Amino acid sequence: MKKFVLSLLVAFGCVAGASANEGGYAWDKFPVEKMNDVAALQNGAKLFVNYCLNCHSASYMRYNRMKDIGLSDEQIKKNLLFATDKVGETMKVALDPKQAKEWLGTAPPDLSVIARSRSDIGKGSGADYLYTYLRTYYRDDTKATGWNNMAFPDVAMPNVLWELQGQRAAKFVDEKDHHDPSKTVHVFEGFEQLTPGKLDDHAYDEAVGDLVAYLNWIAEPAQGKRTQIGVWVLIFLSVLTLFTWRLNASYWKDVK
């Protein structure tokens, strides 16, 4: 039961952290090339099902829509279908919203459009935020969960991916405030690895990139197809404009 409640806290905080504070830690750029990488999207789907779908639903997304990223119904059933037995079902969880509200104070939000709802004009896209957020956890014994986050200070959840990333500490130094020398501010200097994870830094960044790519994809699964159609429409309109211009010139050439 304790492990189950902890999982709830983890999953809830994954989205609670998405309410990024204004200013503060700069967001890293999400590797956008992963959006066109089928293998990355498939791995992101696996990570999502294993680490997020325990408590968070994606109720606007159906399992069989993952055929768009190269998965067959059989592969979906065998590897990703844990909460239901039909590939046509939406990605919901068995967690009772009333119990979630009682244990956590609120029900874990749906993740269907989380990547589209967290953009900041001054800092980056929602994918940039999620990519930064999931990579900047560190140990903080002053917090109830023992964890904190650079992208979302005082986050309410522990690190959902800590087994993959390992445990890290954040190094800060005190410096005088440039605006008020009588005050001191904590300046972040970097992370220190305390215990190793299953993945090294590069592999972990790649895994987070895959997960964020999938979260970005489910927010609008037709985005890639829509972009392709849009390009062809623009090409067609350009050619049509050329023909129309020449036809118009030919029609009026003898009119004075």
**For residue 23, what pLDDT is reported?**
56
Q: Characterise 24 by phi-psi region: left (phi > 0), alpha (psi -120 to 50), beta (else).
A: left
193 has pLDDT over 50: yes
Q: Over pLDDT 90: what percentage of the chain?
A: 54
- The mean pLDDT of 221-227, rounded to a whole number, is 78
What is the predicted pLDDT for the residue at 2?
42
Model pTM score: 0.78
CB atoms under 10 Å from CB of 186, counted, come to: 10
Q: What is the pLDDT of residue 175?
A: 83
For 20-73, how does the pLDDT look when each residue is reduced to its tens digit (9 = 90+)?
444 578 999 999 999 999 999 999 999 999 999 888 889 999 999 999 999 999
Q: How far is it, in rounded angstroms, from Cα 125 to Cα 228?
A: 21
User: Does the structure show a pLDDT above 50 at 18?
Assistant: no
Per-residue pLDDT, 106: 67
Q: Can you tell me the distance from the alpha carbon of 41 to that of 34, in angstroms, rounded to the nearest whole number?
A: 7
Sketch the domain layout of the chain as residue ranges: 2-221, 222-256
% pLDDT > 70, the chain: 89
Instruction: Note the pLDDT of residue 71.
Output: 94
Report the pLDDT averaged over residues 106-131.
87
Residues 6+ apart with CB under 8 A from 146: 139, 140, 158
Of residues 148 and 232, more confidently modeled: 148
What CA–CA distance (Å, rounded) separates 138 from 66? 33
Average pLDDT over every residue of 158-166 = 93
Q: How far apart are CA 252 and CA 256, in angstroms?
A: 8
| Distance (Å) of CA 151 to CA 15, 74, 224 | 12, 39, 29
What is the CATH number assigned to the segment(s) 2-221?
A: 1.10.760.10
Least confident of 3-12, 180-189, 221-230: 3-12
For the chain, strand residue ranges (E) read 58-62, 90-91, 137-139, 147-149, 167-176, 184-195
Q: What is the pLDDT of residues 163-186, one digit of tens each?
A: 999 999 999 988 887 777 778 888
Burial 34-66 (b: 16+ CB within 10 A, else e): bbebeebbbbbbebbbebbbbbbbbebbbbbbb
Any bridge partners for residue 195, and if so which? 167
Amino acid at 62: R
